[in-house]
Structure 1
Amino acid sequence: MKSLRTLFFTFCCLVLCGNRANANYVSDTVVSPVKKVEKKPRNVIFILTDDHRYDYMGFTGKVPWLETPNMDKLASEGAYLPNAFVTTSLCSPSRASILTGQFSHSHTIVDNQAPDPGNLVYFPQYLEKAGYQTSFFGKWHMGDHGDEPQPGFTHWESFPGQGVYYNPTLNINGKRVAYKDSTYITDLLTEHAVDWLDNRDKDKPFFMYLSHKAVHAAFKPAKRHKGKYKGKRIDLPSTYDQTKTGEYRDLNWPQWVADQRVSWHGVDYMYHGNDGIYDKVVDYCETLLGVDESVGTIMEYLKKEGLDESTLVIYMGDNGFSWGEHGLIDKRHFYEESVKVPLLVRCPELFEGGKKPEQMVQNIDIGPTILAEAGVKQPDNMPGVSFIPILTGDTNAPSRKEVFYEYYWEYDFPMTPTVFGMRTDQYKYIKYQGIWDRNELYDLQNDPDEMYNLIADPDKQEIAKEMSTAIYDWLESTNGMQIPLKRTIKYSTGDFKHKNEF
């Protein structure tokens, strides 16, 4: 196997060489003059879902009874990238990484409360500067931000925080509009998105960002889908029972994983309720059906208008989701089902359909990919790369040989420690900070379920050392060698209030 130190050097040369020493984020909110490259601007639609794990789609066969015909069609006519990862498996940090093209420690929105520091530039701002008409529909949820319009979007519709599934209130370009009569959020956002497409300026290229609340807990399907999968069951994962039986000790798993089994994010006390995992999965899958129909509605509009061949459509999740693996649910950890996300891409003008490339991509690649297709030069402070060459078969284009991961301990969810990690095609190394416990090393080729922790294996010590060193090298080269702290104030009532400082 090629030296991990060599792999990291390649990563730095291909991805980070353009970064300035202090260019973690743009110094102010003024967008620099856009440098165009010789390319016709392409229309782009980016669809983002919440907590949708990478393999919960009909065509993957993971859940035999799950039907997602529109996602299946998107994959067959385009591409499914099975090795798509986020840099942090949590709503706000991941969304910030998508919009800024930066790691969490760079944009500093490290959890769901951390505020926008006020000096970030989002990639749609560059599109708007280049003459695009841009729009945003749905969940923003960037730290403690509300529903107010954000820079880079000529049309804006959003709601504060997680929002609600039924009868939402939308901030539409600064004016709040309340919806009643059992209005379902997925349907409403889709309807408004199509209306905007239909009434846009036909002489300008467009970028639309459709950001669904679904399928975030507490899962609530559209009324037409409620009960469709009642009584259905999934096959429990191979690592479901180990923390319950104590076998995790023989497998060298960390103690914190076993302790979390009876917590908010554990299978024996899911969200502090007594509902079984099967019922929760059914609610999740039924909620996903509305998203699949939304995809179909968008694609039908493009076809009707003759835009389906030339428009780049990207479907992605903001983070993955565990359904019992290692006795856990939800996200945050660096196990595959938490860090992997669905990534579907379609554009017949660019590449033929039916592709399933194995190369690794990350959410920090979304901005560079869209900017490249818009003919806009990628800013130096974005360490990602366009993944279109992977789909067009350009073997000379840079590709990622490893992905890095970070998650910072949250006061509200103290069960999961601070995590740093690295993954190659063969190995995954997970390093914990601030907890007296063991780290983890998995051979993904021979142990895809991440059952056998090899951190104590004498034959794997050099690999563990090299990967640990590479993580520190990555953090140091991207100004990430500090952990952002958050001030917490406890009141006499027992309530907690958070003030984020960086």
Structure 2
Amino acid sequence: MYVSKLIRSFRHTYFLLIILFCLTAFSKKENPETVKAPIPAVKPRNVIFILSDDHRYDFMGFTGKVPGLQTPNMDRLAKEGAHLKNAFVSTALCSPSRASILTGLYAHTHTIVDNQAPLPKGLQFFPQYLQKAGYKTAFLGKWHMGNQDDQPQPGFDHWVSFKGQGVYYNPTFNINGKQVPHKDSSYTTDLLTNYAVEWMRKQDKSKPFFLYLSHKAVHAEFNPARRHRGKYKDMPIVYPSSFYLTATDTSKVFGAKPGTNPELKTPVPNLKDMPAWVKKQRYSWHGVDYMYHGQTDFNAFYKDYCETLLGIDESIGKVLSYLKEAGLDESTMVIYMGDNGFSFGEHGLIDKRHMYEESMRVPLLARCPELIKPGTQVTQVVQNIDIAPTILELAGTAIPKQIQGKSFVPLLAGKNISWRDKAFYEYYWEYDFPQTPTMFGIRTDRYKYIFNHGVWDANELYDLQEDPMEINNLIRSPLHQEIAHSLRDQVWDWLESTSGMQIPLKRIPHKRNDHIYKGTY
């Protein structure tokens, strides 16, 4: 009898303890920044992130795309580290892309959908988490996100920036809140690099640092360093085959003939289903036949771009030289990326914004000998939203739950992990540049689907394997309807699952191009 009561008492106590444990566990409120992955057990690394503006994915010497183009330091990053061959931005425009880099969020989530949209309150930048983890942080260069100001932003201990797009020569920098002018033909790319190296020299080597070097170059209108002017005056220009598709007289297009172009190995173009906005844009501010309303010509534009890029490559070299000098080159992660791509005649277009390869695809290189084997080729799809979680993992810092990107550190280390096989894209119509419509899309390893929103026009489907120049729109092809429907559904599933079904409109004053809409306020 006594033993039986004792057993019942024990069971009762045990049951109560289980209930108490469960209530305690579930009563804890979830932290809004709960991590979605455990803190990596790695030693915090120094990280340098170098960002250029409008650098397209294939304009690097080692790709062989541009005859005569020399980028020895980019080539070195690829040779000694990793080349992420399939890197894409989720929006090919400065401010939205830069916001995605700093937050790990899609544009419709962080809501900076154009170059004027103000920063929403409470937006978190990943360097803020690095600061909490004991990192010293610095930002040097073009901010151009959310506003046109140059004031220091959250997440950075040291600040060097300028207003808006800035200038190539004799800039005025905001250095930790103080306006500092530069004269004597000083070149912005060189100045930013020198300031970056100077800041690194002053750091306590026993503590980790994060450096964000954000260049103005190679944004139009292109101005190379004086030492580089004329370097490519004799550079041959390879016109893309789609350059000629909507030209009324191809024999007069800059003296070039389609038959001389080695890239003309594409399907017969489907001009009927080429979107009308693409055809019309050829004769606009962002078209090859009326570039910046006639302010320049294509050949000079092309060569100026390549010469301006030389300054970026030298900047990378100076950073690598300092790391070697300081004994930090083996353990420091150096990441180089473009904020979006740039068109040079494809579909008769210049600039970015659209979803064609040369616009949404960007260069992405990484070097850290302790982690990355030389010559690593990463073929998986990586996007700008992946930069923030990658750097946080390199820092041994927890990845906040709200971040929509993924860390690609395992890919750099050569690990075989489950990874995405597609990139999503969004672009929102801009008041100042109304030639390009709002669009949403998806790119897989073979197909690209583009939904052109709000215009009476054709949507687009391309087989990138058979048609890398994207000139044969298959949207009406009977053989491809199932593929088109599947990709369209995936776009809507993505938008629905990430709260992207409403366009984030902002009340913004517009003055730059008022002549476009005279009397329409």
Report the TM-score, using the length of structure 2 for normalisation: 0.87
Instruction: Quote how far apart the aligned CAs of 1:245 are.
Output: 4.3
Partner of 1:453: 473
Partner of 2:161: 158
Residues 333-352 of structure 1 correspond to what in structure 2 (within 5 A)?
333-352=354-373
Q: Size of the alignment, in residue pairs?
A: 468
Partner of 2:16: none
Partner of 2:329: 308
AA of the residue aligned to 1:401: D
1:138 aligns to 2:138 (yes or no): no
Instruction: Give the match's secondary structure for 1:209.
Output: strand
Structure 2: distance between partners of 1:251 and 1:346: 46
Partner of 1:281: 302
Instruction: Give the match's secondary structure for 1:315.
Output: strand
Structure 1: distance between partners of 2:506 and 2:409: 38
Give the conservation status (yes or no) of the 8 Å contact 2:81–2:367: yes
AA of the residue aligned to 2:194: E
Structure 2: distance between partners of 1:403 and 1:175: 41
2:220 counterpart (212, 217, 220): 217
Partner of 1:15: none
Instruction: Give the match's secondary structure for 2:287.
Output: coil
1:422 aligns to 2:458 (yes or no): no
Instruction: Quote how far apart the aligned CAs of 1:35 are.
Output: 8.0
AA of the residue aligned to 1:461: Q
Structure 1: distance between partners of 2:238 and 2:377: 25
Structure 2: distance between partners of 1:401 and 1:36: 25
Structure 1: distance between partners of 2:108 and 2:295: 36
AA of the residue aligned to 1:150: Q
1:256 aligns to 2:259 (yes or no): no
- Flag structure 2 segments of 5+ consecutive residues without an equivalent: 1-29, 250-267
Partner of 1:129: 132
2:346 counterpart (325, 330, 350): 325
Deviates more, 1:271-280 or 1:449-458: 271-280
1:467 counterpart (478, 481, 487): 487
AA of the residue aligned to 1:112: N
* Percent identity (aligned): 63
Instruction: Quote how far apart the aligned CAs of 1:306 are.
Output: 1.1
Which digits, 9 at most, give the CA deviation of each residue in 1:102-126, with x for residues without a partner?
A: 0000000000000101210000000
Partner of 1:355: 376
Give the conservation status (yes or no) of the 8 Å contact 1:319–1:340: yes
Instruction: Quote how far apart the aligned CAs of 1:357 are.
Output: 2.0
Instruction: Quote how far apart the aligned CAs of 1:36 are.
Output: 4.5
Report the TM-score, using the length of structure 1 for normalisation: 0.90
Instruction: Give the match's secondary structure for 1:244.
Output: coil
Deviates more, 1:355-364 or 1:84-93: 355-364
Instruction: Give the match's secondary structure for 2:212.
Output: strand
Instruction: Give the match's secondary structure for 2:480.
Output: helix
Instruction: Quote how far apart the aligned CAs of 1:485 are.
Output: 2.3
1:442 counterpart (462, 469, 486): 462
Instruction: Give the match's secondary structure for 2:410.
Output: helix
Instruction: Give the match's secondary structure for 1:224.
Output: helix
AA of the residue aligned to 1:455: I
Instruction: Give the match's secondary structure for 1:310.
Output: coil
1:52 aligns to 2:55 (yes or no): yes
Which digits, 9 at most, give the CA deviation of each residue in 1:182-237, with x for residues without a partner?
A: 11000000000000000112221010000000000010000000111114232100
Q: Which has the larger radius of gyration?
A: 2
Structure 2: distance between partners of 1:123 and 1:264: 36
- Flag structure 1 segments of 5+ consecutive residues without an equivalent: 1-22, 498-502
Which digits, 9 at most, give the CA deviation of each residue in 1:18-67, with x for residues without a partner?
A: xxxxx9xx98xx999x9844321011000000000001011111111111
Instruction: Give the match's secondary structure for 2:451.
Output: strand
Give the conservation status (yes or no) of the 8 Å contact 2:114–2:430: yes
Give the conservation status (yes or no) of the 8 Å contact 2:89–2:340: yes
Structure 1: distance between partners of 2:510 and 2:366: 46
Structure 1: distance between partners of 2:270 and 2:80: 46
Structure 1: distance between partners of 2:109 and 2:448: 23
Partner of 2:386: 365
Deviates more, 1:477-486 or 1:219-228: 477-486
Partner of 2:292: 271
Q: Which ranges of 4 or more aligned residues in structure 1 deviate by more than 3 Å?
A: 34-37, 245-251, 486-491, 493-497
Give the conservation status (yes or no) of the 8 Å contact 1:266–1:329: yes
Structure 2: distance between partners of 1:258 and 1:472: 27
Instruction: Give the match's secondary structure for 1:45.
Output: strand
1:485 aligns to 2:511 (yes or no): no
Give the conservation status (yes or no) of the 8 Å contact 1:490–1:496: no
Partner of 2:208: 205
Give the conservation status (yes or no) of the 8 Å contact 2:44–2:208: yes
Instruction: Give the match's secondary structure for 1:240.
Output: helix
1:383 aligns to 2:386 (yes or no): no
Structure 2: distance between partners of 1:240 and 1:453: 16
